[in-house]
Structure 1
Amino acid sequence: MTTRPAPAPDASPAPDDRPAAAPLPFWRNEDWIAVVLGALTLLPVLAGLRPALPKLKWGSAAELTATVLSPANLLATLQIGLALLAISAVGVALLGRDLPRYALGFPVVYALSWLAQVLAGNAAVHHYGIEYVIFALLLGLFVSNVIGVPDWLREAVQTEFYIKTGLVILGANILFQELLQAGALGLLQSLLVVVVVWYACFWLARRLRVDDEFAVMLSTAVSICGVSAAIAACGAIQGDRKKLSYVTSLVLLVALPMIFLQPWLVKALDIPDLVGGAWLGGTLDTTGSVVAAGALISERALKAGTIVKFSQNVLIGGAAFFLSLWWTMRKANAGEPRPTGRVIWERFPKFVLGFLATSLLFSFLVDPAVVKDTKATLTGLRTAWFALAFTSIGLETRFGSLLKMDGGRPALAFVAAQGVNLIWTLIVAYLLFGGLLFAPPPIR
């Protein structure tokens, strides 16, 4: 008779075993607080405040010393850190957490995230498309697994808190006009890939006896856009944060070799540039990695990949809504009380509303000249929030826990689904961008 493997000693209780918690008032809800923090980041910039962002790109030791480590640049780094601390402290206070301990630990998390961006800013590293997210994860993992995370630092390790705020700000770069200009092919490919790959991963996970909660996060991560989508999925189903840390670490570790292998395969197999770019856009998890990998092929591949990735990013909000609705109805079919509109609303990840509101604001209400002027500043601030989040993922991840969690079956499901993703997305890219069904888009 088959028995269920024993859970890891530090694993959270299964979702069905967790006691039902009373709904939090909106000012104590982390999702709503992320919307508030996103607004506190966005509104001053819209009002005309343009803080000096630290310079992080360098090519030699002399340039590193003269620019990145110059007194003026270190002062800009300190000012951005203090601004993020002040903004995030509002959320920490509203959540009722230990504010003094958070303020004590935040500089360490911020310093590690800044170091990750500096390492990724090296010209040679940038050329090969290794992004700050990889360095942030590795630095966090080193501290967590080699040095250890002291108690006074743990209060500042707030993965979801940081990334939800960054996702709200991301809406400023998801403009409806640009999506329409990009054409329908990118969106059509994204829909075809997301539906098929999501279902394939969920089926594989269930065949490997991975629980539904884990399967949803894995499927959403591999089919849409990696870590950001996994965060949205976790919020939609009120998932276990240990499982989320597992998924995000897995996504980043699998993504690194793909940045190099896929461009090599495009050239080795003589895949057309447009098809290769669309393939990259549908399989790599971040826009930065798509740009880096596409640049290793051609300018046309880079543009095609960016269009497809941009279209995929737009699906985050809709995916979170449907996951929230589907998960609630699934629970009802499993014997739980039929969900009411209020229950569905309580489960819905509210930070997605902030993401959509920001996108609508910058798409239709903010002057296009202001959108253009604020893009660099908001991108830099969003990156700073994301860097804090990815560093936190590393800091809260223990390799021992990863290896023990469900006997490695979630990792096997994810890798197998990524294989399906690579094959199916290449087929769809050939159909849509290779001229088999439609005329190739006029991308030059």
Structure 2
Amino acid sequence: MMKPLHEDWIAVIIAFLTIALVCAGLHPALPKFASWNNSAALWAQLSRAELLLQAGVLFLWVLGSLLLARALAKDLQPVKLALSLLGIVVISLLAQLITSNRLVKDLGIEVVLFSLLLGLFISNVLGVPAWLKPAIQTELFIKIGLVLLGANVLFGDVISAGGLGLLQSVIVVFAVWYFTFWLCKRFGLDDEFRMMISSAVSICGVSAAIATSGAIEGDNRKLSHVISLVLIIAIPMMLFMPYIAAWAGMTPAVAGAWLGGTIDTSGAVVAAGTLMGEEALKYATLVKFSQNVLLGLAAFFISLYWTLSKKEVSAEQKPGLKTIWERFPKFVLGFVLASLLFSFVLPPAVVSTAKGSLKELQTYWFALAFTCIGLETKFTDIFTMENGRPAIAFIIAQLFNIFFTLAVAYLVFGGL
């Protein structure tokens, strides 16, 4: 009898099956909300007949993926899974409805933040009912989303935009990662927290924390803690940094490179860059994109280090290639393969046609994942876990990131 597949392989299979279907011409019509700013406009949104159909398509698409995942894992419970998933999808769609409000939209706050906050509200105020728990598959949702993210990280875009963004990203990632790792050690945090916080601050926030947690088989509670910190700290950075850049008289190139190199979520980077104008947005996106490209490479080396570390194996049992392969997170391999596929293999026409749908699906997988994170997290734990030491270390490391990245942005893009 065949053994159940590992969750990493299941995520890769589902993601590449999704890619194959979309490249073959299947573009699911997912729910979209137009901007609204009053009750009449809100009702006009909710009363659209196609909205119910689009929501049904989303539900069936995710349900089909989950049923396949459960079948591969030898744990199929279709009725309980469908009922639970329906609740999670409704919560995620409510988060999207909130973010389509004109005021919220102008601030550039992402749907994943409200998905997290709604999940936190239910978990901490109302309590999570038993029927809602079967489809809480946080890691699976995130891993599928990360593999799909690879389809939108094209090496050609970075090369054509020039090497300055990649140069800044390499300098910042290495310096900030090692500083944060050292700082977390000074705060007495364990190695799992040190790895996840260092990657989140230095590389690309949520995605980096998730990839790192997968590489080291980290504690889910610690991962949820780090993700919550990333999303919460990103909000004031997104709101205030553009005005600081304007007050300091930064050029659009320097300002954009600074924003893209420090703000930890892609949506917040775009929102902050938009406040600075088209040119600043271009540089912010370039630098953020360059950091995303480094994600797969960083996850590989973190996995390699963790596997070879004395903390993981005894001195008498040095791991070989088989051990390294077994412990290496397969979803990172899926991310890299998807990026290579869309960068160098598929025809440009197929890439341009498929990227939009894959981006939408990736966003929904992440939104569902953050809803699940909220449902599994106690809000009080965010600043009370381990007496608040992870939160304090994260904030100090982010402050270092802000000032160090600003200096590098001036050196690389300011002509100093």
Instruction: State TM-score, norm by structure 1.
Output: 0.89
Q: Give the match for residue 391 of structure 1.
A: 371
Q: Deviations over 1:158-208 (max 9, x none)?
A: 111101001111111111211111110111111111111111111111101
Instruction: Tell me which amino acid in the other structure corresponds to 1:278.
Output: A
1:153 to 107, 124, 132: 132
Matched, 1:75 2:56: no
Distance 1:332 1:132 in 2: 38
> In structure 2, do the counterparts of structure 1 residues 162 and 81 end up closer, same or farther at CA, with 3 Å as the change threshold?
same
In structure 1, runs of 5+ residues without a counterpart are 1-24, 437-444
Worse overlay, 331-340 or 246-255:
331-340
Distance 2:45 2:160 in 1: 38
Distance 1:77 1:364 in 2: 34
For the 8 Å contact 1:205–1:410, the answer to whether it is kept is yes
For the 8 Å contact 2:67–2:76, the answer to whether it is kept is no
Instruction: Give the length in aligned residue pairs.
Output: 412
Q: Deviations over 1:203-254 (max 9, x none)?
A: 1111010011111001001111111111100011111111111111111111
SS at match of 2:10: helix
Deviation at residue 156 of structure 1 after TM alignment: 1.3
Distance 1:362 1:26 in 2: 32
Q: Give the match for residue 131 of structure 1.
A: 110
Q: Give the match for residue 84 of structure 1.
A: 62
Distance 1:317 1:196 in 2: 18
Q: Give the match for residue 407 of structure 1.
A: 387
Q: Give the match for residue 263 of structure 2.
A: 284
Instruction: Tell me which amino acid in the other structure corresponds to 1:123.
Output: R
For the 8 Å contact 1:283–1:425, the answer to whether it is kept is yes
In structure 2, runs of 5+ residues without a counterpart are none
For the 8 Å contact 1:98–1:155, the answer to whether it is kept is no
Matched, 1:252 2:224: no
Instruction: Tell me which amino acid in the other structure corresponds to 1:386.
Output: F
Instruction: Tell me which amino acid in the other structure corresponds to 1:56.
Output: F
Alignment of 1:161-200 (within 5 A): 161-200=140-179
Instruction: Tell me which amino acid in the other structure corresponds to 1:297.
Output: M
For the 8 Å contact 2:313–2:319, the answer to whether it is kept is no
Matched, 1:228 2:190: no
Q: Give the match for residue 31 of structure 1.
A: 8
Distance 1:38 1:55 in 2: 22
Deviation at residue 68 of structure 1 after TM alignment: 4.9
Matched, 1:41 2:18: yes
Worse overlay, 258-267 or 88-97:
88-97
Q: Give the match for residue 73 of structure 2.
A: 95
Alignment of 1:344-363 (within 5 A): 344-363=324-343
Instruction: Tell me which amino acid in the other structure corresponds to 2:235.
Output: L
Q: Give the match for residue 412 of structure 2.
A: 432
Distance 2:45 2:311 in 1: 58
Matched, 1:371 2:351: yes
2:186 to 178, 197, 207: 207
Instruction: Tell me which amino acid in the other structure corresponds to 1:348.
Output: F
Instruction: Tell me which amino acid in the other structure corresponds to 2:54.
Output: A
Deviation at residue 264 of structure 1 after TM alignment: 1.3
Q: Deviations over 1:3-25 (max 9, x none)?
A: xxxxxxxxxxxxxxxxxxxxxx8
Instruction: Tell me which amino acid in the other structure corresponds to 1:40.
Output: L
SS at match of 1:331: coil
Distance 2:234 2:381 in 1: 21
For the 8 Å contact 2:382–2:391, the answer to whether it is kept is no
Q: Give the match for residue 12 of structure 1.
A: none
Q: Quick one: percent identity of the two aligned structures?
A: 53
Q: Deviations over 1:37-77 (max 9, x none)?
A: 10222111111112222222222343333345411122111
SS at match of 2:309: helix
Q: Deviations over 1:368-427 (max 9, x none)?
A: 112112222111111110100111111110124334421111111111100010000000
1:321 to 300, 315, 322: 300
For the 8 Å contact 2:260–2:288, the answer to whether it is kept is yes
Distance 1:279 1:177 in 2: 23
For the 8 Å contact 1:55–1:67, the answer to whether it is kept is no
Q: Give the match for residue 27 of structure 2.
A: 50
Worse overlay, 48-57 or 177-186:
48-57
Distance 1:293 1:427 in 2: 19
Distance 1:68 1:174 in 2: 34
Worse overlay, 52-61 or 119-128:
52-61
Distance 1:93 1:262 in 2: 47
For the 8 Å contact 2:229–2:382, the answer to whether it is kept is no
Matched, 1:423 2:403: yes
SS at match of 1:399: coil
Q: Deviations over 1:88-147 (max 9, x none)?
A: 221123223452322221111111111111211222211111111111111010000000
Deviation at residue 281 of structure 1 after TM alignment: 0.4
SS at match of 2:151: helix
Distance 2:382 2:311 in 1: 31
Instruction: Tell me which amino acid in the other structure corresponds to 2:239.
Output: F
Q: Give the match for residue 6 of structure 1.
A: none
For the 8 Å contact 2:30–2:54, the answer to whether it is kept is yes
